[in-house]
Amino acid sequence: MKTSIEIDTKEVGKWVEWLATFGATKNGGVTRLLYDENWRLAQHSLLQKMNEMGLSSYFDGVGNLFGRLEGTLQEEKKILTGSHIDTVIDGGKYDGAYGIIASLVAVHYLNQHYGAPKKTIEVVSLCEEEGSRFPLAFWGSGSITGKYTKEDCKGLYDTRKNSFSHAMSSVGLQADSKPVKREDIDSFIEIHIEQGAVLEKEHKSIGIVSHIVGQRRFTVKVTGESNHAGTTPMPYRKDSILLAAECITYVINQVTEIDPQLVATVGKIEALPNVPNVIAKEVTFTLDVRHHQEEVLDYFCEKVFSYFKQKSIETGMDVEWEQWMDVQAVAMDDKLTKLAYRIVEEMDIPNRKMISGAGHDAQVFGTYCPTALLFVPSVGGISHSPKEHTDLEDLKRGILVLIELLHRLAY
């Protein structure tokens, strides 16, 4: 690795462990949900750290925390860098948290070594991304970019029947207290764990994301006829489990033929009445399909649905599908991505360009301002689990790249 930047690897590890204390679970994971007590402690402790680092820190009206390193130019636009502070239930120490830590360490380094930048940089600890407390995801980035207003959280409750507004006020946030939508963002830089095993398998330390995939999710229902497993000869059967199995086999085996970047998953399946000696009347299964090009998704869906129709005609059974998610693919900024690639190549860090198959705050910013998303490897590809892990050396490499990138953009 070629760079003159030096940061203390142990220090990075300490940061990770420190932030993971807020909401630490008995399994070694973290549960830090939007507006809960651990969330409040984490955000306020981060605010204190920002102040100690000489950043001017503040919350916006929904609880996004910003730490500003003021630029010398009187430009209105700010470079934003960070990630989200919330976790899934019993999640890992790195998802979101690493992006905040990396941004803080990077900005602190820049400030210490180069002083004030030309362009203002703000570190952001976004209040929410996961959607793990309320049925609403990307609340932090969505509020900053104006995708969400406070209207969108009205009538939402968590599983303990706490209303969204009650949860907000319990951490001292008042509806309409401060403006949330920002018009002064120049660009957004996020660094995040991969949550997949591609970098690890290919022995790369940095992933440079060109696109975040579009996602479509469906529920498919196959309706046959319930019948006695012993007294119904095979030709008389309308066996919904068999037809579902044929559909699943077809769907998944299509994927690799269509495009190597395409992924499709049937993760959930349920049969009725689900009894060993009764032919199942009904099977429902989910289909999750992702790619960064809408036309590939269109082609896949067309092919799959025409197979469903054909099988429905052949078997006399119903195959119905309902779409319940449609997230458009988002491209990262070409200039920022190229700059990141140049930096990583100059630093001689093993890297690859990649598509993000998971959703990130960067996808919300991506349609709003020039955005870059960088990945560091996830050991075993494991995420959303206490077992989530990234080697310290990789965490450090990510920060070095971020420092260099912010330096070139802001100084």
Q: Name the minimum Å distance from CB 263 to its own copies.
A: 6
The rounded distance, in Å, linking the Cα atoms of 395 and 278 is: 53
Closest to its own copies by CB, 286 or 293:
286
Is there binding between residue 198 and its own copies (CB under 8 A)? yes
Check if the beta carbon of residue 269 is closer than 8 Å to that of residue 222. Answer: no
Exactly one of 28, 61, 131, 357 binds its own copies (CB under 8 A); which one? Answer: 357
Packing angle between helix 392-410 and helix 97-114, nearest 10 degrees?
A: 50
Is there binding between residue 262 and its own copies (CB under 8 A)? yes
Exactly one of 9, 286, 293, 328 binds its own copies (CB under 8 A); which one? Answer: 286
Check if the beta carbon of residue 36 is closer than 8 Å to that of residue 133. Answer: yes
Packing angle between helix 294-315 and helix 240-258, nearest 10 degrees?
A: 150
Of 116-124, 148-156, 333-341, 351-359, which part binds its own copies (CB under 8 A)? 351-359
Exactly one of 252, 301, 331, 339 binds its own copies (CB under 8 A); which one? Answer: 252
Of 45-53, 60-68, 85-93, 223-231, which part binds its own copies (CB under 8 A)? 223-231
**The pair of three-digit structure tokens given for residue 102, joined into one six-digit string:** 């990396």
Closest to its own copies by CB, 88 or 106:
88
Exactly one of 196, 370, 377, 386 binds its own copies (CB under 8 A); which one? Answer: 196
Is there binding between residue 235 and its own copies (CB under 8 A)? yes
Tell how many helices (H) and how many strands (E) occur in the chain: 11, 16
- φ, ψ of residue 351 to 5 degrees: the values are -150, 170
Three-class secondary structure of residue 19 per DSSP? helix
Q: Name the minimum Å distance from CB 214 to its own copies.
A: 11
The rounded distance, in Å, linking the Cα atoms of 285 and 299 is: 21
Is there binding between residue 91 and its own copies (CB under 8 A)? no
Exactly one of 165, 265, 293, 328 binds its own copies (CB under 8 A); which one? Answer: 265
Is there binding between residue 356 and its own copies (CB under 8 A)? yes
User: Beta 351-356 vs 282-291: how paired, if at all?
Assistant: unpaired
Is there binding between residue 312 and its own copies (CB under 8 A)? no
Q: Which of 297, 321, 304 is nearest to 246 (CA)?
A: 304
Is there binding between residue 215 and its own copies (CB under 8 A)? yes
Is there binding between residue 278 and its own copies (CB under 8 A)? yes
Packing angle between helix 97-114 and helix 37-52, nearest 10 degrees?
A: 10
Residue with tokens 């033929």: 257
Is there binding between residue 227 and its own copies (CB under 8 A)? yes
Q: For residue 127, give the amino acid letter.
A: C
Is there binding between residue 279 and its own copies (CB under 8 A)? yes
Q: Quickly list H helices, 292-371.
A: 294-315, 334-346, 361-366
41-60 burial, b at 16+ Cβ within 10 Å, e below that, comes to: ebbeebbebbeebebebebb
The rounded distance, in Å, linking the Cα atoms of 254 and 6 is: 48
> What's the maximum distance between 2 C-alpha atoms anywhere in the chain?
84
Q: Name the minimum Å distance from CB 90 to its own copies.
A: 13
The rounded distance, in Å, linking the Cα atoms of 397 and 124 is: 20
Check if the beta carbon of residue 345 is closer than 8 Å to that of residue 192. Answer: no
Integer Rg of the chain from CA: 24
Of 51-59, 140-148, 182-190, 243-251, which part binds its own copies (CB under 8 A)? 243-251
Is there binding between residue 203 and its own copies (CB under 8 A)? no
Q: Name the minimum Å distance from CB 34 to its own copies.
A: 20
Q: Quote the DSSP letter at residue 157.
A: B
Q: Name the minimum Å distance from CB 275 to its own copies.
A: 5
Is there binding between residue 301 and its own copies (CB under 8 A)? no
Exactly one of 170, 274, 306, 310 binds its own copies (CB under 8 A); which one? Answer: 274
Is there binding between residue 266 and its own copies (CB under 8 A)? yes
Contact flags string 154-183 toward its own copies, x per CB under 8 A: ------------------------------
Closest to its own copies by CB, 4 or 277:
277
Q: Name the minimum Å distance from CB 319 to its own copies.
A: 14
Exactly one of 9, 25, 162, 232 binds its own copies (CB under 8 A); which one? Answer: 232
In the complex, the residues that contact its own copies under the rule CB under 8 A are 194-198, 201, 213, 215, 217, 227-236, 239, 241-242, 244-246, 248-249, 252-253, 255-256, 260-263, 265-271, 274-280, 283, 285-286, 288, 290, 356-359, 381, 383-384
